[in-house]
């Protein structure tokens, strides 16, 4: 089986996963305890003619199989009904387009922090075991891993809010560019990224403000992943550096730098790939508490509002997007496996 055939197989296998996920979502929405009329009108209007009209308008008296088919068609054509409660009259996917970029922006920087801090520290600790640097990196990783995200977020907001008093006169809100402590990041430049080149005078300050605004939340969200990747990276390097093929490479007289980069690092990345990809999905979609503390108001906040207020069309659309993100991350994991380990995807005959 070629690498291309291997990836095509993974993509085809993802289709029933998506279908199963949206089917479970439909069952929860349609067979759950929430009455759409109650969500739209409130409990006081349940027995009136208006409630009956809404139930008929929504097709709740249609056969369940027909409701299911309509639900799938609306999902796969990105044409879900309008939001009921959170933003009445606004199509569900239009709301997601507004809020999702904030969560993606937060998740992107959280993943970068975890990757470019956690993995290098783990590899350094693995290459220098039982040294002062190893003990310091390992202890720091355990501390970061142990601190709850919501607690760290509250502490960081408190520190930044009074940074001029607790950080020796340093004022976070005016550093580099003026921003608030808790507010959604300005992402207008993402609508037309070419303006960063064609009109840098207006776009670059906005991008710098967006990076600064998201940095504290990204540090909090990426901290636990950073500690986990450091720990796994250290263990993977220690296991790899003592393997037989590394000893053989040393016996052949290869330089230590070549051994480290070509044999140790590449093979140590293999156990890290599922850790990185699974945590990337968590960072992108599981940031509800951090978004609330820093007032990012992304998809996590939108999901919470939709679930609490019984906005079923919005819940269905958000679940569909989350399932697509999860499946995409899993396919990306398979792609990374074939890049790091060329044996993956080929029959060994």
**What global pTM score does this model have?**
0.80
The beta-carbon contacts of 254-260 under 8 Å, at least 24 apart in sequence, are: 260/127
Q: CA 173 to CA 164: how far, in whole Å?
A: 9
Q: How confident is the model at residue 173 (pLDDT cuts 50, 70, 90)?
A: confident
Structure tokens, 20? 């199963």
Q: Is the pLDDT of residue 190 over 50?
A: yes
- Which of 2-11, 217-226, 323-332, 335-344 comes out lowest in average pLDDT? 335-344
- Other CB atoms closer than 10 Å to residue 48's CB: what's the count? 12
Q: Are 290 and 153 in contact (CB under 8 A)?
A: yes
Reduce the DSSP state of residue 171 to 3 states and report it. coil
Per CATH, domain 95-307 is 3.30.43.10: no
* pLDDT tens profile 111-169: 888 888 888 888 888 888 888 888 888 888 788 777 888 888 889 988 888 888 878 77
* pLDDT tens profile 56-106: 777 777 888 888 898 888 888 888 888 888 888 888 888 888 888 888 888
Q: Identify the bridge partners of residue 91 per DSSP, sorted by sequence position.
A: 82
- pLDDT at site 347: 52
Task: For residue 91, give the DSSP letter.
Answer: B
Reduce the DSSP state of residue 82 to 3 states and report it. strand
Structure tokens, 109? 């920087």
Q: Are 314 and 86 in contact (CB under 8 A)?
A: yes
- pLDDT at site 233: 85
* pLDDT tens profile 258-313: 888 877 887 888 778 777 777 766 666 557 888 888 888 888 888 888 888 878 88
Structure tokens, 81? 């009904």
* pLDDT tens profile 26-35: 888 777 777 7
Q: Which residues are within 8 A (CB) of 65 and not within 5 positions of it... i.e. 6 or more apart?
A: none
Q: CA 160 to CA 149: how far, in whole Å?
A: 16
Q: CA 287 to CA 69: how far, in whole Å?
A: 32
Q: CA 191 to CA 173: how far, in whole Å?
A: 26
């Amino acid at each position: 089986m070629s690498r291309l055939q291997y990836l095509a197989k993974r993509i085809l296998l993802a289709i029933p996963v998506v279908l199963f996920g949206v089917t479970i979502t439909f069952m929860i929405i349609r067979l759950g305890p929430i009455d759409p009329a109650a969500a739209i009108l409130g409990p006081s209007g349940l027995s009136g003619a208006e409630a009956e009209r809404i139930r008929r308008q929504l097709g709740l008296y249609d056969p369940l199989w027909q409701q299911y088919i309509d639900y799938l068609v609306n999902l796969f054509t990105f044409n879900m009904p309008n939001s009921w409660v959170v933003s009445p009259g606004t199509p569900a996917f239009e709301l997601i387009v507004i809020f999702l970029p904030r969560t993606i922006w937060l998740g992107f920087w959280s993943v970068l922090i975890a990757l470019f801090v956690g993995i290098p520290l783990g590899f350094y600790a693995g290459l220098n075991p039982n040294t002062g640097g190893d003990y310091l990196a390992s202890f720091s990783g355990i501390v970061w891993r142990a601190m709850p995200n919501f607690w760290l977020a509250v502490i960081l907001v408190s520190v930044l809010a009074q940074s001029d008093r607790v950080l020796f006169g340093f004022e976070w809100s005016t550093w580099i560019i003026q921003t608030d402590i808790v507010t959604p990041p300005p992402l207008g430049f993402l609508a037309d990224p070419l303006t960063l080149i064609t009109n840098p005078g207006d776009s670059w300050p906005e991008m710098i403000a967006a990076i600064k605004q998201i940095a504290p939340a990204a540090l909090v969200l990426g901290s636990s992943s950073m500690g986990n990747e450091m720990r796994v990276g250290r263990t993977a390097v220690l296991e790899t550096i003592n393997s037989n093929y590394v000893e053989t490479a040393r016996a052949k007289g290869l330089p230590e730098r070549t051994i480290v980069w070509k044999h140790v690092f590449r093979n140590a990345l293999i156990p890290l790939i599922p850790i990185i990809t699974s945590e990337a999905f968590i960072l992108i979609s599981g940031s509800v508490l951090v978004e609330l503390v820093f007032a990012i108001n992304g998809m996590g906040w939108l999901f919470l509002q939709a679930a609490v207020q019984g906005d079923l069309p919005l819940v269905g659309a958000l679940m569909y997007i989350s399932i697509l993100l999860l499946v995409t991350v899993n396919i990306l994991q398979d792609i990374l496996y074939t890049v790091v380990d060329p044996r993956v995807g080929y029959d060994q005959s």
